[in-house]
Structure 1
Amino acid sequence: MNINMLMQQAQRMQKDMESNIKKAKEELALTEVQAEAGGGLVKVTMTGRFVVKRIEINPDLLQDEPDMIEDLIAAAVNDAVRQAEQVSDEKLKAANSGMGLPPGLSGLF
């Protein structure tokens, strides 16, 4: 195999990987996760690209102390972020699979 063939193969692999990653990111933008805190008093809907789409607060909660409401919102958002990270990691890992990357490098994309 000559160097030109190797370079062409590397370029094809790079284009394929870029295409797979772009597709995965598009899918993540459409994927939604839902998280809640306080037994469902606060619910957060977030995309796999970490965009908060909706925050629902049970009206009964609004009569409580603002500190408690803020803590529940933060907890629900943090849980949604963890879920979105997990979904993102899985989709991007799948996009990188089969690319022949050395161990540890697929997480960079």
Structure 2
Amino acid sequence: MNIQALMQQAQAMQKQVEKNVESAKASLATKEVHSESGNGLVKVTMTGRHVVKRISIDPSLMEDEPDMIEDLVAAAINDAVRQADELYESVMANATGSMGLPKGMQGLFG
């Protein structure tokens, strides 16, 4: 076994994975998740890179207590973050799949 050929193959694989990860990150920036709370009274749109694009609050909520509005906004954002995290894991698993890394190890390249 030629160790130099093996090292070159490993370097080529690493470069391909890096390219795949960069492509995956760019893709995540354009993908969106949508969340809501309070039966749709609060809606949040977030990218796969955790950038909040939109928050929509039904005007009828403005008559309620501020604490309730804050709780509904927080719940919708937290759900959107959870969805964005799941999207990230899925996209990065595809990007690093050729390396045969165990589940959860994709974060090393994020």
User: Is this a same-fold pair by TM over 0.5?
Assistant: yes
Q: Partners of 2:47 and 2:95 in 1: how far apart? A: 18
Q: Please give the TM-score of this superposition, normalised by the length of structure 1.
A: 0.93
Q: Structure 1: which amino acid aligns with 2:66?
A: P
Paired residue for 1:65?
Answer: 65
Structure 1 vs Structure 2 CA RMSD:
1.2
Query: Is the contact between residue 89 and residue 106 of structure 2 (CA under 8 Å) also seen in structure 1?
Result: no
Identity of aligned residues (%): 62
Q: Number of residue pairs matched?
A: 108
Structure 1 unmatched ranges of 5 or more? none
Query: Is the contact between residue 44 and residue 52 of structure 2 (CA under 8 Å) also seen in structure 1?
Result: yes
Paired residue for 1:95?
Answer: 95
Paired residue for 2:6?
Answer: 6
Describe the superposition over 1:8-62 as per-residue Cα deviations: whole angstroms up to 9, x where unpaired: 1011000000001001110000000000000000000000000000000000001
Q: Partners of 1:99 and 1:85 in 2: how far apart? A: 21
Paired residue for 2:52?
Answer: 52
